[in-house]
Amino acid sequence: MSGELPGWVVREAKAEDLPAIVRLLADDALGATREQIDAAPDPSYYRAFEEMQRHPGCHFLVAELNGELVGCMQLVIIPGLSHRGARRAQIESVRIARSWRGHGLGTRLTEAALQMARDQGCILAQLTTHRQRTDAHRFYEQQGFAFTHLGMKKRLRTD
């Protein structure tokens, strides 16, 4: 990583990080419609976090700058049969605090996650991003990601 940033740390999330994580997830037009921000996060966030911690290969990373949580990302290591049994990394829920966007923190968080994926034997990293997030598309392309596939989703539940 080029240049040092004193006070910068990437680490695995802890349950006590959930209020800040939920605020980050809700801090854009799309997230605001899906996340619930209250004084304390809904218990469903804690249940999901506990399940993620039990899931092998599932990591939820947070980025701190001088003790302030300023970014987050989910990284899931997926074993597979294609590519001769290769592992791949799935990246989701990437957010940088609005006040810190454009300062290189997203790049640093992404680099840390990609190194973690390499260290766990992944041969490629993949992600999905909503088609409305054009700033995110530019960011990911700058990180070396390319639009190589079409993604599709189907909602299975409405609750």
Q: How far, in Å, CA of 21 to CA of 113, rounded?
A: 17
By three-state DSSP, how is residue 28 classified? coil
Q: How far, in Å, CA of 12 to CA of 26, rounded?
A: 20
pLDDT in tens, 3-25: 567 788 999 999 999 999 999 99
Q: In what side-by-side order are the strands of the sheet with 58-65?
A: 8-12, 58-65, 68-79, 87-96, 122-127
pLDDT in tens, 68-126: 999 999 999 999 999 999 999 999 999 999 999 888 899 999 999 999 999 999 999 99
Confidence band, pLDDT 50/70/90 cuts, at residue 153: confident
The predicted model scores a pTM of: 0.88
The CATH number of the structural domain formed by 8-142 is 3.40.630.30
Q: CB neighbours of 72 closer than 8 A, spacing ≥ 6?
A: 13, 21, 24, 25, 60, 61, 62, 63, 93, 94, 95, 109
If you count them, how many residues does the chain have? 159
Q: How far, in Å, CA of 134 to CA of 136, rounded?
A: 5
